[in-house]
Chain A
């Protein structure tokens, strides 16, 4: 097994030795040869020629050994043909000197071309629209109000003409109003906690559960999970989709699942040691708590077998990721899902940790301006909207998640073609409109992170002076931003102001304040004070 990193040392010098490629499940073994000077000078990429191909699996490979090279693990992505040989682009990922792996659970769907994907989506969208129109009165009426019949939906473009579905619609049709199959076809129900009034209820057919398990297995596989792993599932079991969703996905993968559910930290740590848990699944905040408890208990990390964490069900930051990875010695992956759309398994972060791949063969994501409801182009921040393509029991059309994200279309280094969504950076409920511009508190946060803040604390104060909106950003000054010269702090204020202007497109007054002087309630920061009387 390898333990050496590429990248920092630049391009490894490889000469015509033979290497073995193995899939991570150990089923396929291929001999490859690395051709001299076919190695690009880009650190993370190498071009490799494949010889003597007996069979091929688009999965993980290991490369080595060589005196200078050591072993590498990476991802073999879709191939090109050249002179009868396979030409592969191989990306090698290294984080903190520890190599990791990923593999495609469903290589066909995960790496298919955008054209093929669009074809599948169009076909499934047409079927979906037809189905909800005939079997869900709510959708039929909503379509009719817009003068749409299923026949009008001919391409993916036509999706834009369909009405949105909101959380309110789900409440209004409680409990089974949006189910698209007879109740007898539903084999399981989940429900949200519903802090006010009635919860939101979703139902799954046998086939839905099958799809869901498969998608969660895809997530595990993406994070490097295999049947050899022991998965400790500390998501809560019950009406919440987290626990059971992860559970059946891990079973589908063939891993050993420990259905411990949340809480009882001492027991979590004991079983983690005794069962040699290699994958931890829970909310990121619980993982952090667990990590601190592990350290407090004096457990030697070397005695644990943890290698991967799959965390979701609440927004978290890259800073939290760093802490989790350091404290637990793992790779932390973000998983996204919501019960209205499926539960965990709608999107998952690959080892590139560069956004979450949305499983587009099952869901169509869109980003819209939450105010104008107009679709936004790739790369722009806005509200995430999902249409389910394959759900039978509880399909949704253009469901507004209220989650803030951005979609990126470039093919990922891991070889997957599915769109990447940025980790959730906020909720539309937190959005402010200042001088006609949509402002998300998370944008301020990202600017402060650029300035070296590890846990930015800030407060947006919006006021209206002489019929003009006025934005003041109060920033707690931490030690790493502090200069003991007045001029130094004034420069800091100016740079912050300029950066905010370029990110938000509006000017703001920056006010530096002392640490812990901004209001916090129950450890959670209050980010906005809006004094405008509209």
Chain B
């Protein structure tokens, strides 16, 4: 049920993001989703790719500080209140969301929300209990 996300440490300097995509491109790795969180000095680039293991390895070899994190992806219908519905369920049981980002897939009209929590298994159980569809890693990588 988990999705493997690649996180990369980037200095806020020109050309660093391009270097990441270049390394991935050379290895035929496709980016499915991407988000950047940053401060004035540095940023953290978070990626969902089709081959997370390979991506981790090649980025590490290219000299980046990189880690993998397990995140959860859920499908949200493209209508008002879709996201807040999900957040409410987690909030009720006291699960704190560290960060989240969303992307829209080409194949369906639904949006995918990717989020990171400390208690991954618990969150999965809560969402499933409320009949929210969790998109498994294999499916997300192939979108």
A residues neighboring B (CB under 8 Å): 477-479, 482, 484-486, 489-490, 511-517
Contact = CB atoms under 8 A, between A and B. Distances in A.
B12 to A, nearest CB: 10
A514 B46 CA distance: 16
B65 A477 contact: yes
Interface stretch (B35-43, B84-92, B133-141): B35-43
A482 B67 contact: yes
A512 B16 CA distance: 15
A484 B46 contact: yes
A486 B39 contact: yes
A517 B37 contact: no
Given A512-B41, A514-B65, A517-B11, A485 B16 contact: no
A479 B59 CA distance: 12
A433 B5 CA distance: 45
Nearest to A509: B41
Given A482-B66, A485-B116, 13 more contacts: A482-B9, A482-B67, A484-B5, A484-B67, A484-B69, A484-B116, A486-B37, A489-B44, A512-B9, A512-B11, A514-B11, A515-B64, A516-B63
B26 interface: no
A440 B42 CA distance: 27
| Interface SS majority for chain B | strand
A514 B9 contact: yes
A484 B7 contact: yes
A496 to B, nearest CB: 13
B98 A489 contact: no
A509 to B, nearest CB: 10
B39 A484 contact: no
Interface string B106-137: 00000000001000000000000000000000
Of the listed residues B10, B16, B64, the one surrounded by the most CB atoms of chain A closer than 10 A to its CB is B64
Contacts of B11: 512-514, 517
Contacts of A517: 11
Secondary structure dominating the interface of A? loop
Interface of B: 5, 7, 9-11, 16, 37-39, 41-42, 44, 46, 60, 63-67, 69, 98-99, 116
Contacts of B116: 484-485
23 contacts: A477-B9, A479-B60, A479-B65, A479-B66, A479-B67, A482-B7, A482-B9, A482-B65, A484-B5, A484-B7, A484-B46, A485-B44, A485-B98, A485-B99, A486-B37, A486-B38, A489-B9, A489-B42, A489-B44, A513-B11, A514-B63, A516-B63, A517-B11
Contacts of A516: 63
A482 B42 CA distance: 12
Nearest to A476: B65
Given A477-B9, A484-B69, A512-B9, A490 B44 contact: no
A484 B44 contact: yes
Contact of B64 (A486, A490, A514): A514
A485 B37 CA distance: 8
A446 B26 CA distance: 39
A524 to B, nearest CB: 18
B118 to A, nearest CB: 10
Given A482-B67, A485-B99, A514 B44 contact: no
Contacts of B16: 514
Contacts of A486: 37-39, 44
A86 B52 CA distance: 67
Contacts of B98: 485
Contacts of B44: 484-486, 489
A511 B16 CA distance: 17
Contacts of B41: 511-512
A200 B99 CA distance: 63
A477 B44 CA distance: 12
Contacts of B39: 486, 490
A515 B60 CA distance: 10
A306 B63 CA distance: 36
A471 B111 CA distance: 47
Top 8 closest A-B pairs, CB basis? A484-B7, A516-B63, A477-B65, A482-B65, A486-B37, A484-B69, A477-B9, A514-B11
